[in-house]
């Protein structure tokens, strides 16, 4: 879920995949692991407070932009990452997507960015625990998923890159049709 600019100083919450969604999700997952392993997983309130503090700390380290700076950057990437002339729910309001699901990633480059990129990785093991033994994302097929290969039961981690690759190809085809 992202906040999309839909007008001057107006943002709307919507479900779209920006180029940096996986990077920010990986950052959130790393923070969550650190918060839980530091003993703040006992209650939702404790976890939320610790996560708020951890997020504030990491954003400060990464030199988070102010709202005004963020809005100015949205204007700079207009036409490259997003199209301000399109409106929600137009799928191609978002122009730049990153379909790579690797767990070792750099942020997608922005032409005018001067800060060096910060590499994020997701280790296989943390605190003596193999992460894949602790949980798994399972996506069960829905009614609007007829174009996808049917899984035996659900889509698991092994299927995700293939699904992303299919989405990439479908998006390229659909975008080419809309630009004619």
Give residue 48's Cα distance to chain centre: 20
User: What is the per-residue pLDDT across 99-112, written as a single tens digit (0 to 9) for each?
Assistant: 888 888 888 888 88
Higher pLDDT residue, 17 or 109? 109
Burial class for 36, CB neighbours closer than 10 Å (0-12, 13-18, 19+): middle
pLDDT band for 1, please (50, 70, 90 cuts).
Answer: very low
Residue 44: predicted pLDDT: 96
pTM of the entire predicted model: 0.70
């Amino acid at each position: 879920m992202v906040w999309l600019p839909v007008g001057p100083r107006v943002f709307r919450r919507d479900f779209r995949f920006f180029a940096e969604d996986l990077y920010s999700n990986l950052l959130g997952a790393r923070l969550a692991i650190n918060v839980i392993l530091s003993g703040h997983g006992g209650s939702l309130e404790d976890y939320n407070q610790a996560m708020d503090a951890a997020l504030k700390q990491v954003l400060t380290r990464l030199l988070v932009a102010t709202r005004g700076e963020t809005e100015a950057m949205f204007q700079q990437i207009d036409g490259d990452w997003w199209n301000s002339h399109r409106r929600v729910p137009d799928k191609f309001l978002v122009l730049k997507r990153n379909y790579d699901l690797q767990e070792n990633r750099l942020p997608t480059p922005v032409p005018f960015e001067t800060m060096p990129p910060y590499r994020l990785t997701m280790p296989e093991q943390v605190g003596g625990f193999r992460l894949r033994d602790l949980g798994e994302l399972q996506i069960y097929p829905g009614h609007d998923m007829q174009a996808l290969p049917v899984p035996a039961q659900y889509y698991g981690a092994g299927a995700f890159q293939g699904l992303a690759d299919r989405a990439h190809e479908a998006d390229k085809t659909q975008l080419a049709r809309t630009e004619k």
